[in-house]
């Protein structure tokens, strides 16, 4: 891990050099994101083969899991952004000390949020209005997910710390490995022992036949393997973060305050967004099992389009954070703009493909004709929002690298609740599930415009965590 580009001097990198740097850093992050989505496609297809009820049982609690996952990401962000700025300033020991404090806090927070999630695992599906045939499977899935939260928190901290230090390749490869392991473990846990034919020869496959609960166990096992490898990479092999190098475990209030200043608004942002998604789930749930299943699968299908944006946003966080740490605000702004242009271009192209391939995508995800038809319609609605969605995603990543998380969280509060939820309440009674997705499309376009305005006004460039 090191400074990504020579940003400590007085010179300014050329546009071509900066673009190639963004692309080079984005590729492993994009590949990891895409592999994660492919994993979700395979997961959805595996669970979907069990029937609409099985798909709906996971879809019902998916937004709540995103909310919890967002809180874990926010905690990791609070420490990893500090690491990026310390590395940009050439202070490796400072970065190492931040990482150690992050590990302590991550373990404590992971245990706390796991206990909280376990305490509501039995009641949550009922609160969300799940149908009688869905509640039991939802409860089992969420219980297993809650048990794995401390492991997930450590993986996220180590992954984001490596990325913000400049090593996007290692966490990218390990996240890809986690996706592959998830598929393998799912095959083992979801389906019963069975016999298949390979080139005409019978092959006996082992399986536990646990259904929906097996999908949760498969993911938990994959998380455990990835977390162990991610911790080894960051805490043992890293040239900067390694616990074998000189550093201090002493808790520093300045570091904790800086982490909270970044994490709390980021957590608020995730809470606002996922809380709105939970409300959307409540709005959609009365439409029936087919609508809930189509909504869940369409979200999975759409993610293949927007994950490249998140990969580029990750690169923007690293580049902007290191530039701010080195005192080069001019380069930070240019990296941010370069990343946004690249993200919008890639996601716009992906949106065209998504629109054309929507029927094929749903044919792989579910055998239900009703779910396929409805899912195709809503996915094509969402395609029109992808360019502005890209702008919001990458802008958010760039602003996060500067430690600017408060204003973005307020912008998300405004658009999610002021636009999406309001429109959804108005349109769903008239248009059904299609109304909810029209509301989502409009909101994402408004959000993208607001984030672009925030980026171009440059107030975020005044952030420097190391200076308090």
Q: Which two tokens stand for residue 110?
A: 């992971």
Q: Which two tokens stand for residue 79?
A: 């420490």
Per-residue confidence (pLDDT) for residue 4, from 0 to 100: 55
Per-domain boundaries in the chain: 15-467
Per-residue confidence (pLDDT) for residue 464, from 0 to 100: 60
Q: What's the CA gap between 290 and 371, in Å, rounded?
A: 6
Question: What is the CA angle 397-398-400, rounded to 5?
Answer: 65
| Mean pLDDT, contiguous 10-residue spans, the chain (468 residues) | 52 74 78 67 72 79 81 89 88 93 95 96 87 86 94 94 87 88 90 76 82 90 95 94 91 88 85 78 82 81 81 87 86 91 92 89 79 88 92 92 87 91 91 91 95 89 63
Q: What's the CA gap between 380 and 166, in Å, rounded?
A: 37
Per-residue confidence (pLDDT) for residue 6, from 0 to 100: 54
Q: Is 118 exposed, middle or buried (0-12, 13-18, 19+ CB in 10 A)?
A: middle
DSSP lists the bridge partners of residue 198 as 201
Locate all alpha helices (DSSP H) within 49-168, ordered by sequence. Answer: 52-88, 92-120, 124-127, 132-147, 149-164
Scanning the structure block, which residue is given the tokens 């672009």?
452
Per-residue confidence (pLDDT) for residue 345, from 0 to 100: 93
What is the DSSP secondary-structure string of 343-359? HHHHHHHHHHHHHHHHH
Q: What's the CA gap between 24 and 438, in Å, rounded?
A: 35
Task: Check residue 467 and report its DSSP letter.
Answer: G
- H/E segment holding residue 198: strand 192-198
Q: Which two tokens stand for residue 186?
A: 């799912």
Which residues 6+ apart lie within 8 Å of 10 measured at CB? none
Q: What's the CA gap between 19 and 166, in Å, rounded?
A: 16
Task: Check residue 372 and report its DSSP letter.
Answer: H
pTM of the model: 0.78
Per-residue confidence (pLDDT) for residue 1, from 0 to 100: 43
Note the Cα 419 to chain centre separation in Å: 22
Q: What's the CA gap between 124 and 146, in Å, rounded?
A: 12
């Amino acid at each position: 891990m090191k400074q990504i580009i020579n940003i400590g001097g007085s010179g300014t990198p050329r546009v071509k050099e900066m673009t190639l740097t963004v692309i080079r850093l984005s590729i492993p992050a994009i590949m990891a994101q895409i592999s994660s989505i492919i994993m979700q496609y395979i997961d959805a297809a595996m669970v979907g083969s069990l029937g609409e009820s099985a798909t709906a049982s996971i879809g019902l609690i998916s937004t709540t899991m995103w909310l919890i996952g967002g809180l874990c990401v926010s905690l990791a962000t609070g420490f990893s952004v500090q690491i990026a700025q310390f590395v940009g300033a050439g202070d490796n020991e400072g970065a190492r000390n931040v990482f150690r404090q992050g590990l302590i806090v991550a373990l404590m927070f992971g245990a706390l949020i796991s206990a909280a999630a376990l305490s509501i695992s039995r009641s949550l599906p009922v609160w969300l209005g799940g149908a009688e045939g869905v509640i039991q499977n939802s409860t089992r899935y969420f219980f297993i997910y809650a048990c794995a939260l401390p492991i997930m928190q450590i993986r996220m901290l180590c992954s984001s710390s490596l990325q913000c230090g400049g090593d996007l390749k290692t966490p990218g490869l390990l996240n890809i490995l986690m996706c592959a392991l998830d598929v393998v473990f799912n095959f083992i846990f979801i389906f019963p022992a069975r016999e298949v034919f390979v080139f005409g020869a019978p092959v006996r496959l082992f399986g536990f036949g646990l259904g929906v609960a097996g999908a949760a166990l498969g993911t938990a096992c994959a998380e455990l393997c990835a977390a162990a490898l991610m911790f080894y990479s960051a805490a043992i092999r890293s040239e900067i973060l390694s616990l074998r190098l000189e550093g201090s475990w002493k808790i520093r209030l300045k570091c904790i305050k800086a982490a909270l200043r970044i994490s709390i608004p980021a957590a608020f942002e995730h809470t606002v967004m996922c809380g709105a998604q939970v409300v959307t789930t409540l709005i959609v749930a009365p439409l029936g099992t087919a609508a809930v299943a189509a909504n869940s699968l369409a979200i999975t299908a759409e993610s293949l389009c927007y994950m490249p944006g998140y990969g580029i946003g990750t690169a923007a966080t690293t580049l902007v954070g290191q530039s701010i740490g080195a005192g080069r605000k001019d380069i930070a702004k240019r990296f941010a703009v370069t990343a946004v242009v690249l993200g919008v271009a890639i996601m716009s192209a992906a949106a065209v493909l998504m629109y054309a391939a929507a029927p094929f995508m749903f044919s792989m995800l579910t055998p239900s004709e009703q779910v396929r038809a409805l899912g195709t319609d809503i996915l094509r609605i969402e395609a029109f929002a992808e360019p502005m969605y890209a702008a919001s995603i990458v802008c958010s990543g760039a602003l996060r690298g500067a430690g600017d998380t408060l204003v973005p969280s307020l912008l998300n509060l405004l658009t999610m609740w002021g636009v999406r939820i309001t429109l959804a309440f108005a349109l769903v009674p008239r248009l059904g599930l299609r109304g909810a997705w029209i509301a989502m499309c409009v909101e994402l376009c408004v959000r993208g415009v607001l984030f672009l305005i925030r980026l171009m006004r440059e107030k975020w460039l005044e952030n420097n965590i190391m200076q308090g």
